[in-house]
């Protein structure tokens, strides 16, 4: 047993619909000429979600990488599910502590999936928290 039910939390996710896009609108409702992927209706799932502990055990961060222009952290949270058929993938968007309702375009999402790891008994997802000041909404 990887995770007891008491340790699970409800999240909502949406997957990209392959080959479909929607036009982007600015904050005034005008079309910008850009297009973004179309997402499925959000679905709820119960998973074990935790903050990733950094190397000094004081910060909630993933592994830090030294890049040409500084240090970046590629993920902030880890999520585990025993459902090996879980459809969440690296293109999915995730809402945690926020219910998006039926429309993924109205509520800012707060996580993106950056990596998926599979074992014989469970799937582990690495998530990166995104800015939700309006930039996280799908246009």
Which tens digits make up the pLDDT trace of 68-103?
554 455 778 899 999 999 999 999 999 988 888 777
Q: Tell me which residue range forms the domain holding 91.
A: 5-129
pTM of structure: 0.75
In a domain, 77, yes or no: yes
Judge whether 40 lies within some domain: yes
Closest listed residue to residue 12, CA positions, set 110, 123, 78, 80: 110
Secondary structure of residue 71 in the 3-state scheme:
strand
Q: Are 95 and 109 in contact (CB under 8 A)?
A: yes
Average pLDDT over residues 21-46: 89
Domains held by the chain: number: 1
Assigned domain for 134 exists: no
- Flag whether 135 is in a domain: no
What percentage of the chain exceeds 70 in pLDDT? 76
């Amino acid at each position: 047993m990887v995770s007891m039910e008491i340790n699970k939390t409800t999240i909502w996710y949406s997957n990209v619909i392959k080959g479909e896009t929607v036009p982007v609108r600015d904050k005034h409702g005008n079309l910008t000429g850009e297009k973004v992927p179309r997402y499925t209706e959000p679905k709820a799932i119960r998973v074990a979600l935790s903050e990733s502990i950094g190397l000094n055990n004081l910060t909630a961060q993933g592994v830090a990488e030294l890049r040409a222009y500084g240090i970046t952290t590629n993920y902030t949270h880890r999520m585990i599910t025993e459902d090996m058929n879980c459809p969440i993938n690296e293109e999915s968007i995730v809402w945690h502590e926020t219910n998006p309702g039926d429309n993924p375009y109205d509520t800012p999402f707060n996580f993106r999936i950056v990596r998926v790891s599979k074992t014989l008994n469970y799937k582990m997802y690495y998530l990166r928290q995104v800015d939700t000041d309006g930039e996280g909404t799908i246009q």
